[in-house]
Amino acid sequence: MNQFIRDNVEKSEFLVHRSVFTDREILARERAEIFNKCWLFLGHETEISELGDYRRKKVGGRNLLFVRSQDGEIRALFNTCPHRGALVCRENEGNSRVFRCFYHAWSFKNDGELVGMPGKDGFPEDFNNDGTKNMKAVNRVENYRGFVFVNFDENAISLDEYLGNAKEYIDLVVDQSEYGLEALGGIQEYSVRANWKLLAENSVDLYHGMPTHKTYFDIKQDQDPNLKRVQLEGEGVELDNGHGVIEYVAPWGRPVAQWTPIWDEELKNDMEEMKVKLAERFGEERADRIANYNRNIVIFPNLVINDIMAVTARTFYPTSPGYIEVSGYSLAPKGENEAHRMARNNNFLEFLGPAGFATPDDNEALELCQEAYNNNEEVEWNDISKGMVRGEGNALATDEVQMRNFWRQYNARIQASLNKEKEVAQK
Amino acid sequence: MTVKTITRQDVVDFLYTEAKILDEWRLKEWAALFTDDGTYKIPPIGDPEASATKSLFYAHDNRDRLQERAERLLKKEAHVEYPHSTTVHNYNNILVSNLDSDVITVECNFTIHRTKREVMDTFIGKHTYELVEQDDEIKIKSKKVVLHLDSLRPHGKISLIL
């Protein structure tokens, strides 16, 4: 099976072959063509705000150390000793000038430079003059407004170019704060027993909102009977390089400027003031967009930034076709006052996160998809054509253009690699 | 000043009863075990003393939200728990402190197994309760769940009351 997508605009039908969720060879190809070549989210710069701060990260199947070295540079060091390969740093996070591998006690500065080793007389005098015995760093590390990415392909286009017109939407998220966003403690490390692409889809899928999350909306309506009037309305947009977004209004509180009755009355006035300030900074129209509209952004392949009832960033990586490791972050305005932060965090917990009132139901849906892909031999295709009849430029937020765009990019990368192989075979 | 009559055995029986209520999915009865200002909290893994404004908790429920949590999980549309998973809550190493004061503190280790669709997940950790006597009954003023896990993998979720 080498045709994974059927993209029939005339018939308004878009199909994805279900083997892409279950086939091990396809996962190997994804590692080579997607995870080894695309920009992947490493972390938020505020996780390592002080010199010497570090955190262990698993990105693209690698063990990395996300570190702010003594020279102030943010680096991604491969967490492996150049001597015999052991994991050098075993703590999940901390602050240190030096990392020491316990196996033979080689020590490295927090920029990776080898600075000590026992039994030096057993090595040549010019040992490591070429730097090959330093901890290796990822060559391409770039930062967009606090979001730090790595790319394992040294020839990759710049992050700026890669993000393309997705930057407009990241800007809208970050601009809600005058001082930028910060990552809160307690990054949520969980998993889903499903294929990674299902979570990318689900994250920009507003169509599932009502049926999957009915219990959440029931609770919202009990808290605020006026909410019955608010629907999930907006648009779906395809962005460059497989990125996509839905932008819409929703009946939950937004801690920027949309008050909700579970919050203290006092916050209402604060939020009005915040809105006025936003208008001063950006004008009425942009302030309205920042404050009142929700955004779910998927940055191809595996970063999701949801600016909804709180701001969450999620990244995820497959260990097998049917299992992903997810890291979920909460981002909030730097310097936010305590009452607002508490309201925001309560809002987050009520919907998001692995113990929230919604996210576990998403994961259940993805796991049920994965389980039923046992029927792939006979039932081969997923349908992702909602809204095609409207034309791809007129999609509603509850349509699926942003997902088709993901799949078109996915298909282009995978097909290019298949074609190259075919050419080689024919020669 | 009321005369305290609660014994250690009463506390232990109360805990075992809570575990039984949870395993039988009688979640409205579970919510009713709490005082009007009762709280249910699950701090981030590895940071049991975290501040709820600086770190993200898994659960940070006041009395209203723990009621919502309980009622939600009983609905058919709480898809993750429909049909309900099978759970076994085991409480061990129960340490009761301050039996003769207004607020009794209890610590216990827990092992909670959850099985659904032929997959079993195990949650381990420590509960800390603050218990009070109200109308001749023991009530929970606060319950804090400290997970002794490295991450929520492979569990992926906390869709039961721990």
Q: For A186, which of B47, B78, B154 is closest by C-beta distance?
A: B47
For chain A, count helices (H), then strands (E): 11, 21
What's the rounded Cα separation, in Å, for the pair A312 and A90?
A: 27
ipTM of the complex: 0.94
> Quick check: B16 pLDDT over 90?
yes
For residue B135, what are the contacts with CB-CB under 8 A and spacing of at least 6?
A: none
Give the containing element (helix H, strand E) for A334: none
Output the pLDDT for position A112: 98
Q: Within an 8 Å CB–CB cutoff, is residue A363 touching chain B?
A: yes
Please determine, for residue B101, whether its predicted confidence score (pLDDT) is greater than 60.
Answer: yes
CB contact under 8 A, B68 and A357: yes
Predicted local confidence at residue B67, as pLDDT: 97
Of A193, A349, A361, Cβ closest to residue B78:
A361
Sign of the alpha-carbon dihedral angle for A179, A181, A182, A184? positive
Q: Is the dihedral of CA A89, A95, A98, A104 positive or negative?
A: negative
B100 touches A: beta carbon within 8 Å:
no
Nearest to A81 by CA among A99, A56, A62, A93: A99
Closest CA to B89 of B160, B34, B11: B160
Q: Which of A238, A245, A253 is nearest to A292 (CA)?
A: A253
Say what the pLDDT of residue A227 is: 75
Instruction: Supply the pLDDT for residue B74.
Output: 97
Residue for token pair 């006025």: A276
> Is the model's pLDDT at B2 over the cut of 80?
no
Give B4's pLDDT tier (boundaries 50, 70, 90): low
User: 3-state class of B57 per DSSP?
Assistant: coil
Residues of chain A below pLDDT 50: 1
Q: Which residues are A57's β-sheet partners? A: A64
Side chain identity, residue A275: K
Lookup result for tokens 């009713």? B32
Q: Directed axis angle between helix A401-426 and helix A196-203, to 10°?
A: 150
| Average pLDDT, rounded, for chain A | 95
Element (H, E) at B46: none
Q: For B161, which DSSP code?
A: -
pLDDT score, position A371? 96
Quick check: A186 and B57 CB within 8 A? yes
- pLDDT band at residue B5, thresholds of 50, 70 and 90? confident
Q: Which amino acid is at A363?
A: N
Confidence at residue B3, expressed as pLDDT on a 0 to 100 scale: 56
CA angle, A71 then A76 then A80, to 5°: 110
Contact criterion met (CB below 8 Å) for B30 and B18: yes
Stated pTM of the model:
0.95
Chains A, B: CB pairs < 8 Å: 110
A214 touches B: beta carbon within 8 Å: yes
Share of chain B above pLDDT 70, in %: 98
Quick count: other Cβ atoms within 10 Å of Cβ B54?
Answer: 15
Crossing angle of helices A265-282 and A284-292, in 10° steps, is: 140
Which has the closest alpha carbon to A361: A164, A196, A215, A240? A215
DSSP string, A306-373: EESSSEEEEEEEEEETTEEEEEEEEEEETT--HHHHHHHHHHHHHHSSTTSSSHHHHHHHHHHHHHHG
A357 touches chain B (CB under 8 A): yes
Do B135 and B123 meet the contact criterion of CB atoms below 8 Å apart?
no
Rounded-to-10 torsion of CA B88, B94, B96, B97:
-120
DSSP bridge pairs for B105:
B97, B130
Residues B108-143: tens digit of each pLDDT: 999 999 999 999 999 999 999 999 999 999 999 999
**pLDDT, position A220:** 87
Question: Are the C-beta atoms of A46 and A182 separated by less than 8 Å?
Answer: yes
CB A243 within 8 A of CB A407: no
What pLDDT score does A352 carry?
Answer: 92
Distance CA(A223)–CA(A155), nearest Å, equals 53
Q: How far apart are CA A52 and CA A261, in angstroms?
A: 43
pLDDT the model gives residue A10? 93
Strand, helix or coil for residue B157: coil
Put simply, the answer to whether B156 touches A190 (Cβ < 8 Å) is yes
- In this prediction, residue B1 has a pLDDT band, given cuts at 50, 70 and 90, of very low
Single out the residue of A395, A390, A413 nearest to residue A245, CA to CA: A395
Q: Which of B162, B153, B152 is nearest to B85 (CA)?
A: B162
Would the CB atoms of B157 and A349 count as touching at under 8 Å? no
Backbone φ and ψ for A198, nearest 5 degrees, come out as -65, -35
